[in-house]
Chain A
Amino acid sequence: MEKHKKILEYAISSLLRRTYRNLAVIVVFSFMVAVLSSVLFLTHSFKVEALNVLSDAPELIVQRISGGRHDLIPADYMKKIKEIFGVGEVIPRFWGYYYDRMTDSNYTLMGIDKNMRGLELLDGRMPTDSGECAIGKGVSDVRSAGIGGKMYLINSRGRVIAFKVVGVFTSGSNILTNDLVLLTKDSVKTFFGMPSGMATDIIVEVNNDYEEPFVISKIKELLPDTRPIMKREIIRTYDTVFSWRSGMILIMFFGALTAFCILAWDKATGLSDGERQEIGILKAIGWETSDILELKFWEGIVISLTSFLSGLILAYVHVFFFGASVFSPVLKGWSVLFPQFRLMPYISLYQVFIILFFTVVPYVASTIIPSWRAAITEPDSVMRG
């Protein structure tokens, strides 16, 4: 015990002797860990968020497609769907996107309905009157509008409409509520100037999951201009988008990895004469090969764990406090989709372990192996300086 403590102490003092060199290693190493962890934190949190959102989302949504694009759906489609065997409730939804020039951000305006899930009010209540609204935390922040305040929105006829804010949603609950402006059904309809008898899309509840494929094919048969969207399909789409995004950033990561490999390679291919000499001296004065390997092991561990932890912290701060701002050029899509959004920190231990394994282990190995080769040879050469 005493022995290992002394060797560890000597390892640290050895590292401090080559301050600049080791500092350079730590900087490069931490940077690499930070990039890798940022990517993983970011995609993982997006994924968790998305799945949270989707777990509250309806199982099946029916949209109408016209000219290849999503269009308003006639309310009488509902009757036909309702008659299909296995279908439970059929609910129309009224919503639309709203671009706010003042704050350069996008909101989702949605009409309230009783079946909405996953909405947690931070404060206040749901809108009941056509002049009222409840807003997401993100909207509340950019417009600096709280309860009792007013939201001014320009409707489809170019008129400014004032809505009284009666509720604010918690920021944490999910991505969707962040940019949400919840109105009554009727005010959404008049705001967007939707013709009566039309809805944005339709939620279809299917009594049994296994009946879903049947219901879908039946809907397509009866109403050829519709597109039924299953929740499961959305999850798949999200997945591919996420992988594509992280793929982009992984390219950056590999840049950093290359730098790191050059560094490690440089270490692995040769000890400097000074290091070789020092190993010889230690052996000559009675250190065992195993003692020298332990010394090098500690050196490697100290450097790589320091880098690993600082890289991890850097990534955490970057992703969860600064919204991955370094990646924002690559993530342009997200910032439009989720303006002013602060991610919730979800970290998968498995991923942290993976990062640990792929950074610390190779580094420690690259420190030990060349020293091991020097340590098993006779220290005769130190006799001659």
Chain B
Amino acid sequence: MDSVIKTYDIAKVFNPGMPDQIKAVTDISIEIERGGITVLKGPSGSGKTSLLSLIGCMSRPTSGRIIVNGKDVAKLPERFLTGIRRSTFGFVFQHFNLISGISVIENIMLPLYPSDIKLSSIRKRVESIMENLGISGKKDFSVQRLSGGEQQRVAIARSLINEPEVILADEPTAHLDSKLSEDLKDIFVTLQKEGKTIIIATHDPIIHEGGFAGRVIEMRDGMVKEVTVE
């Protein structure tokens, strides 16, 4: 299998040595298939977000190794991780994390501000992405005035702007009804066809049931309980 990411016994311990020490992730070894859709499922508190954050270089493991495109990133200092995040990953956060007070289009362009790409060409790129996601009418809205589903799409558009290889989405259906959730699945399928690798953390059956994902990793108490391959 051609894998984008491989983990070897990674663990994440919060507040180590303190009375409130928490093992959020315990010795997980998994592989993420390039160009596939992988779903992390499990009950609340089982460590899905923590694992996603480790895979996406948002935090570093307490122990273990993480290989991203053949490179061990587990021990890299934060300043190198930024570069990897920028070039490899697009994030769709559980709480969207859009910046309020600026327009939709600015939010989507934001990841490319610290680059030498001209604003006008960024704008063009954004417009075509918004077109594909069906939100081009909301370009100049400020994000607070969007519905949950629209905010979700803006967040997806922002994750796509730097043309990442891997898209990480945390509970993407949490704010959507079942119709919008189905639409979202279509979006992910389209992205997969374009060659993106997609990793979704969710406990929503609409996502992890019915053969949408190529691979479902079930988590329990910070550990992998079962891996199902379609």
Binding site for B on A (CB under 8 A): 1-3, 6-7, 10, 13, 17, 277-278, 281-289, 291, 294, 376-380, 382-385
Contacts and interface: CB of A to CB of B under 8 A. Distances in A.
A6 B85 CA distance: 20
What are the nearest 7 A-B pairs in CB distance?
A: A286-B86, A385-B95, A17-B101, A380-B59, A291-B114, A285-B111, A6-B113
B85 A284 contact: yes
Contacts of B91: 284-285
Most chain B C-beta atoms within 10 Å of own C-beta, residue among A2, A277, A291: A2
For this complex, into which size category does the number of interface residues on chain B fall?
35 or more
By secondary structure, the A interface counts as helix
A2 B93 contact: no
A9 B99 CA distance: 15
Given A3-B116, A286-B111, A383 B53 contact: yes
B97 A378 contact: no
Interface of B: 49, 52-53, 58-60, 78-79, 81-83, 85-86, 91, 93-95, 97, 99, 101-102, 106, 110-111, 113-119, 158-159, 162, 170
A14 to B, nearest CB: 8
Contacts of A376: 78-79
Given A1-B116, A384-B94, A285 B110 contact: yes
Given A284-B91, A288-B82, A378-B81, 11 more contacts: A10-B113, A281-B99, A285-B110, A286-B82, A287-B82, A291-B113, A294-B114, A377-B78, A378-B78, A383-B49, A384-B95
Contact of A3 (B58, B115, B158): B115
A133 to B, nearest CB: 68
B116 A380 contact: no
A7 B170 contact: no
A3 B49 contact: no
Q: Which of B81, B101, B102, B118 has the most CB of A within 10 A?
A: B101
A288 B114 contact: yes
Nearest to A16: B101
Most chain B CB atoms below 10 A, which of A284, A376, A384: A284
18 contacts: A1-B116, A2-B119, A3-B113, A3-B116, A17-B101, A17-B102, A282-B110, A284-B97, A285-B159, A287-B111, A287-B113, A288-B82, A378-B60, A380-B59, A383-B58, A383-B170, A384-B49, A385-B97
B119 A6 contact: yes
A288 B116 contact: no
Contacts of B170: 383
A284 B97 CA distance: 10
Contacts of B115: 2-3
B53 A278 contact: no
